[in-house]
Structure 1
Amino acid sequence: MRACFNNPRPPLCEVALILMLCLAHPGVAQEQDRTTEEDVDHAGIIRSWTDVNRERGRRIYDAHCVSCHGYEGAARLPDARAFNRDELRAGGDPYTMWLTLTEGFGQMVPQMQYSPEERYDVVHFIREVFIRGPNRDQYFEISDEYLEALPEGTPREDLVPPDGHPRDYGPVLTSQFRREVNRAMTFDLGEDVFASYDLHRMRQHHVWDGFLNLSQTQHMRYRGERQPFPDGEPLAGLQTYHWAYGADFDAAPENSLMQGLENSKSMGPTDSELMLYNGHYLDGRTATLSFSVLGREVLERPRVHRLDDFVVLENVIRVAPGETALQLTAGAFAGDPGTEGVLGLAGEPSLALDDTGSAHGAIAFAADVPSPGGASGIGDFIAAVVAGDTEQLRWEVTAQHRLGLHIPASSTPLVIRVLRFAGSGAEAWARFRDYADLVVQ
């Protein structure tokens, strides 16, 4: 750099410096263009302020403004305004405060990660909580004349969402799931059904009717700092599904390094000798999980079959040859069932059933029985059936009312289809039994 300035002919240095300055200015201009391009009904937003807007502004302030301006409006940085006592250098009326957030001021960068309404929510919170009482001289009284003088925008009720390109994340999305699972894979199964799997334990963590809400994540916002969450109703009776261990068909235990930590049973990994996630394969609009259980390789693809309120979850599974027997929990009944066990496809629920039996051509189930006397008295129930290489497979309904599937050691690959259903009443039972009969045969 020194040689450059000592050079009697320094055109390259000068050109480079000029280019740097020129390149810097368009960025500022582009930021300003972004603010002027927003179609904002300023007066309409201010007129509609309520306590809901104030509390929404409080949440944004507590998350992103407090580090400089303080919890009580008493600034933590020398150059930051203390809203409870200082003069607002850029102006104290709502529109000017909104512009300050929008365009930035001093050391504060433009807060364009928030929508125009959210920026006004923050303004409303600051005015009503920090300025109105402690710093009354800075509180701007809003009048009709003031609102009429604000820049015009399309009234909010007339705004039409802009045409855009819906984001396509494919059939699966790996992410954190709320604050419950930090390594989840969510499947878009189609038919408005989503299922999220805990990849540490290869268990279905949640399945619901709706969609995966990403509105507060980095997928949708410049500074999305929240986790994806299910937007819809959970599918009742179908929440339990996992590869299992022990006589009670428990899910994989937590790793000893995570014991005692909050949410460790969901957040931490398990022993890799018990279970190890390898990855997944994409195939059009479907995906297949690859993992090992007790050293035995498994490929698994979840699917859904739906007709209105009739929803059957299916897992297509390929288990590699191996000398270790495996266990799978295909469901769990909440509460104390009136009857449970294993019966043939042509059978009817009764109070006297075996709790274990061959999985070939058989249903494992647990059900309420409001009135004794067979299927006519069946209430809420869960049921599972398996098709494919089932000759050596065995169902067991445990004391914890779990539908457990025993998968034996094998010298050849086993390919099976596990179908799960939850319903209530004789009609739902007959419908699932007929459907299962078609699949098994």
Structure 2
Amino acid sequence: MIQPIVFIVVTITAFGLAFVQYKRIRRNVLLGQDEAIEGPSSERWRNMLLVAFGQKKMFKNWIPAIFHLFIYVAFLLTQIELIEILVDGATGHHRIFAEPLGGFYTFLISFIEILSLLAFVATIIFLARRNLLKVPRFHKPEMKGWPFKDANLILYGEILLIIGIFSMNGADMVLQSMGAEGYHQTGAFAVSSWLGPTLFGGLDAGTLMVIERFGWWLHVLVVYAFLNYLPISKHLHILLAFPNTYFARLTPRGQMKNMPEIQKEVAAMMNPEAAPSSTESQEETMPVFGASDVFHLSWRDLLAAYTCTECGRCTAECPANITGKKLSPRKIMMDVRDRMEEVSKNIDSKDPKFFPESPQTMLPNKLGYDDGKNLFDYISREEIHACTTCNACVEACPVLINPLDIILQLRRYEILVESSGPSDWLPLFNSLENSQSAWAMSTPRDAWNQ
């Protein structure tokens, strides 16, 4: 009776700690600006099923995609076995579904073992690609330090999980052949039926039970550690890829969103009679032009920042990065997430200095928060100026993240609020203002053919 009690305490603790972290992430995402969800839901479900669940965009490079699929499918199906482990742990039973399911149980566990073996091979290959072959996109400047360690840690965790599965099942197979009490006859599992006798064949029943329990608890504890590790890891995309692909914008790639505030000003210029009175103008709050901080981005952009897989496909395709510019679309997403984490930490501290009565920032946010920093402390002007708006990064992302939207929002702030920008952009602005043309030519510039 001690094990079920210990298991229940550990489970409640693990899920309680995880709930706090996922609640914090939800709070952080909702710090962003509201944005309406447009487009047919059927198209959104299609995106989620094909891109997140079906991993459609991964198969542009099919060799790593196959290995990733091994890990992904093994992860999904292993959760079926985890359900049984949770029930066993809480009730004190052993393989509670084995007898009711009969032969199907043997098939299911065997299938999971085959996938786990393939996942083990894939994990070794991925570790080799990062640490021995040193694939260039995994060794860009933004990947030094924690991001590189994070990618390795999760792969090590996957190996531990697989060791737990085969230790548990392998010892179980030998115990069944010995007729040990409490170990149901389940039939031969595809891998453990030969791996178990090979590794544990000469051991006594007591030692085998210790190994079986070790594998069982290792499986449980790795899953619980993984659950609590995800919120601080790039592997949060395992969960967030689904909502991110569902809520991805359905507008054509590269299409900029109109700003109602600008449209209102233009309408007033074109029709002075429709302009708001001075009293109404004074009552209006300062409009937000572009974005200088996470508060001014859409909640969709913040969700995308947490969803980023840090795979680097966007950076590998970016023509600016390829030609030696500082811009890395992956770094843009990582910087937005890092800024969110900084803001989150300061909010949680409840330090009054972060909530001044008269914030210095020109642009409002929902909490009155002001720490004197913004996204430009993370993302340099050189980076956002280097972007050619070609959409290569958007096209390359396997989970429908749009770094370009954030870059354009930062540019809008720089131009419309700070009246700043590269000097070689000035002729363009003057031409648009004076002749409504980017080439300093008047509207009847085609009159020559008349």
- Which TM-score band (shorter chain)? under 0.3
Instruction: State TM-score, norm by structure 1.
Output: 0.23
Q: Which has the larger radius of gyration?
A: 1
Bigger helix share? 2
Structure with more contact order per residue of length (Cα contacts < 8 Å, sep ≥ 6): 2
Bigger strand share? 1
Instruction: State TM-score, norm by structure 2.
Output: 0.22
